[in-house]
Chain A
Amino acid sequence: MAANEQLAMLVQPDRVHRALYTDAAIFELEMERIFGRAWLALGHESQVPEPGDYFTARMGREPVVVVRKDDGQVGVLVNRCAHRGSMVCAEGRGRVERFVCPYHGWSYDRAGELKAVPFASGYAPGKLAELRLASAPRVASYRGFIFASLAAGGESLEEFLGPAKASFDDFVDRAPDGELQVAGGVFKHAYAGNWKLMLENHLDGAHPAWVHASSVAVARNAPDPGGERYSDIAVRQMRQNGAPDVVWEATGIWTTARGHGYMGDYHDDDRLVVGLGNPVFDAYRAQLIERLGEEEADRILRVTLWNTIIYPNCSFMSQFRQLRIIHPLAVDRSVVYTYSFRMPKAPAPMFRDTVAFANVVNGTGSWVLTDDLEVYERIQRGLTSSAPEWVYIGRGYGRDVEDQGTQRGATGTSEVFIRGQMRAWLDYMTRDA
């Protein structure tokens, strides 16, 4: 199982073989050929503002440390001592002068150079000079978002992002002076399912009416909490998941050559989107107008991109400033890190809405998220069945349209974005390097 011809048989235009979700050998190949080749989102520059600031992350199988080096550049070091393999840095974040291995005290500088080794006389002359922490060969940022690739060569980050750059532009342009900070803690939620299941869910406009039926029904029957109440955002967002079919069908959905995807706005609630008449939002809009003029401010605020997927490991949305990174752990186990962003120069209450939104929609105890996780786990269990062997991704198939270098679904509930992910999957899995 690995010949390219065999892999190609698993991905057909409107269906894929269940082995993509259940076969451990395919998973290993994905780690090598997808997570070992693609640009992977790792975080945001605000997490490492000063030299020595670091946070730990994963790139497929590789535990890594993202660190601000002395030259001001961001480096991505593999968190594994060159000696006997211990992780040199505990999980988490902080600031360091040197990464010191806990086993024998080998120490590395912020660029991963080996600086000191106890009992160094035990090694042949010159031997230690060959050793250092491995590092990701390519690291780049797009508008503050840090990416790295384990492949030495390949397209630039901007080429990789392609039309999906517009989603990051939307994210950043909404912040006064373009300033964003990761803030408010990191949710880390795991599920017993394949990593692709999350990416296939976030742009799926046909699922909320079913998966989220219970939270929609309860929120709809609840009285309005009122604008200043903490629960207001929560109730509004849960109701919005119950938007009528016609709204979902009218939503835009696009996919790019690399498998990225994004959806247009499905919200019709003013506080959730344009917020006109809300005093906090009005103050925020006034700040943008003061900096950019009314025309540009309103152009930015009228952009109605909602969820965006950057294949293969990232999902984000700009309106409430949430970004999720998925780490595959095994063919049937994944963990998702969810980050919230503050706009330091926007009115402070906006971040409170971000926190309330994060808790209710993306939080580990959310009654929205937990229903998604339940479904991922049921899919994983269901796909142990070989009757049938195929997973059907044909909604809207045959009606996808070319749209300025992307493919657009004929309607908002098209599975065009999953077909796009699968084309990218096959491309990574079968290309030469």
Chain B
Amino acid sequence: MTPEQFLYHEARLLDLHRYEEWLELFAEDASYWLPLEHGQKDPYETSSIIHDDRALLELRVKQIRHPRAHARQPLARTVHQVGNVVQLGETNGELQIGSTLTVVEFRNDKQRVYGALVEHRLRPHGNTFRIARKRIDLVNSEGELDGIAILL
């Protein structure tokens, strides 16, 4: 599978609400990170909109399915549009893949749009990949945002 096809596959799992399968794309040592600040270097000394290790990401997915996850039930409908996929580098066999992401979310009669620059670290795994790291820089991460209850 090419990195580009892998990113499309990942986006489609989210749009189809197949979150458990999406979680399986992440390596055991993975991180999933939406920085708060533009150009943020560190997820430990500065807050993040989301900063999950694999253990927290798994809990986040479990929480989505809980019948009293008020902000997530019913689930938002989303479209994740992945574009501008480029390889930025390769380190220790891991591919560093840049992309742009546009997400349209619909829930509670409200439609919202997100735009982000995304960077994946993809670790070859058989004939596909595992995500070692996913960083999502929302264009408005420092702005006044409504609560984010979807996965980007």
Interface size class of B (residues with CB under 8 A): 35 or more
Apart from the given pairs A231-B52, A364-B36, 18 other A-B contacts in the complex at a CB distance below 8 Å: A183-B45, A184-B46, A184-B47, A186-B36, A190-B146, A191-B146, A191-B147, A214-B66, A218-B66, A230-B44, A230-B56, A352-B45, A355-B45, A355-B46, A359-B49, A369-B147, A370-B72, A370-B149
Measured in the bound complex, the distance between the Cα atoms of B146 and A364 in whole Å is 7
- B147 and A373 contact, CB distance less than 8 A: yes
Question: A188 vs B145: C-alpha distance in the bound complex, in angstroms?
Answer: 6
- 19 intermolecular pairs with C-beta atoms under 8 Å apart: A184-B46, A184-B47, A188-B143, A188-B144, A189-B147, A190-B146, A192-B146, A214-B63, A214-B66, A214-B67, A230-B56, A231-B53, A359-B47, A365-B147, A367-B63, A367-B69, A371-B71, A374-B147, A377-B108
CB distance from B23 to the nearest CB of A (A): 13
Complex formed: what's the CA distance from A377 to B71 in Å? 10
Residue-wise, chain B 48-73 has the 8 Å CB interface mask toward A (1 for contact) of: 11111101100110110011111110
Q: State the CA gap A378–B146 with chains docked (Å).
A: 14
A374 touches B46 (CB 8 A): no
Interface positions of A from 342 to 400, Cβ below 8 Å from B: 351-352, 355, 358-360, 363-367, 369-371, 373-375, 377-378
The residue in chain B whose Cβ has the minimal distance to the Cβ of A351 is B45
Interface membership of B113, Cβ < 8 A: no
Q: Residue A218 contacts which of B50, B62, B144 (CB distance < 8 angstroms)? A: B62
A190 and B37 in contact, given A213-B66, A371-B71 (Cβ under 8 angstroms): no
* A211 interface residue (CB < 8 Å to B): yes
Q: Tell me the smallest distance from the CB of A233 to a CB of chain B, in Å.
A: 11
Taking beta carbons and an 8 Å cutoff, which residues of A are in contact with B?
Answer: 183-192, 210-211, 213-215, 217-219, 221-222, 225, 229-231, 234-235, 335, 340, 351-352, 355, 358-360, 363-367, 369-371, 373-375, 377-378
List A contacts of B69 (CB < 8 A). 214, 367, 371
Instruction: Take A231-B53, A359-B48 as given contacts and tell me if A217 and B66 are in contact as well, using a CB distance cutoff of 8 Å.
Output: yes
The answer to whether B144 touches A374, judged by C-beta atoms less than 8 angstroms apart, is: no
What residues on B are CB-neighbors of A375 within 8 Å?
70
Interface string of B113-152 (1 = CB under 8 A from A): 0000000000000000000000000000011111111000
Taking chain B's interface residues, is the majority helix, strand, or loop, or is none over half, making it mixed? loop
Residues of chain B lying within 8 A (CB to CB) of residue A221: 62
Contact, CB under 8 Å: B63 / A189: no
Q: Contact at A229–B55, with CB atoms within 8 Å?
A: yes
Cβ of A230 and Cβ of B53 under 8 Å apart?
Answer: yes
Q: Does B34 contact A (CB under 8 A)?
A: yes
In the complex, chain B residues whose CB is within 8 Å of the CB of A231: 52-53, 55-56
Report the minimal beta-carbon distance from A407 to chain B, rounded to whole angstroms: 31
Q: Which residues on B sit within 8 Å (CB–CB) of A192?
A: 146
Task: For the complex, give the distance between the alpha carbons of A365 and B71 in Å.
Answer: 11
Residues from chain A with Cβ under 8 Å of B71 in the complex: 367, 370-371, 373-374
A229 and B147 contact, CB distance less than 8 A: no
**What CA separation (Å) do A306 and B59 show in the bound complex?**
26
Does the CB pair A215–B47 fall under 8 Å?
no
Residue of A nearest to B108 (CB): A377
From the candidates B56, B70, B142, B149, name the one contacting A211 in the complex (CB within 8 A).
B70
Bound-complex Cα distance A366 to B148 (A)? 8
Q: How far is the CA of A213 from the CA of B108 in the complex (A)?
A: 21
Q: Are B47 and A189 in contact (CB under 8 A)?
A: no
Distance to closest chain A CB from B5 (angstroms)? 28
Which one of A188, A214, A359, A370 contacts B148 once the chains associate, using CB atoms below 8 Å?
A370
In the A-B complex, list the 5 residue pairs whose CB atoms are closest, starting with the nearest. Answer: A214-B66, A365-B50, A370-B147, A374-B71, A214-B69
Q: Are B59 and A219 in contact (CB under 8 A)?
A: yes
With a cutoff of 8 Å between Cβ atoms, the chain A residues found around residue B50 in the complex are: 359, 363, 365
CB neighbours (8 Å) of A351 from chain B are 45
Cβ contacts under 8 Å, A186 to chain B: 36, 142
Q: Hey, which chain A residues are within 8 Å of B46, CB to CB? A: 184-185, 355
Cβ-defined contact, B145 with A190, below 8 A: yes
User: Contact at A214–B68, with CB atoms within 8 Å?
Assistant: yes
* Most A CB within 10 A of own CB, among B66, B71, B146: B71
A17 CA / B5 CA spacing, docked (Å):
56
Q: A185-B36, A364-B145, A370-B149 are in contact. Are A340 and B47 (CB under 8 A)?
A: yes
Q: With the chains together, A174 CA to B56 CA distance in Å?
A: 30
B35 → chain A, closest Cβ, in Å?
A: 9
> For B72, what are the chain A residues with a Cβ–Cβ distance below 8 Å?
214, 370
Name the A residues within 8 Å of B146 (CB-CB). Answer: 189-192, 373
The smallest beta-carbon distance between B95 and chain A, in angstroms, is: 25
- Closest chain-B Cβ to A236's Cβ sits at a distance in Å of 12
- Say yes or no: B53 contacts A229, CB within 8 Å: yes
Do A363 and B66 touch (CB < 8 A)?
Answer: no
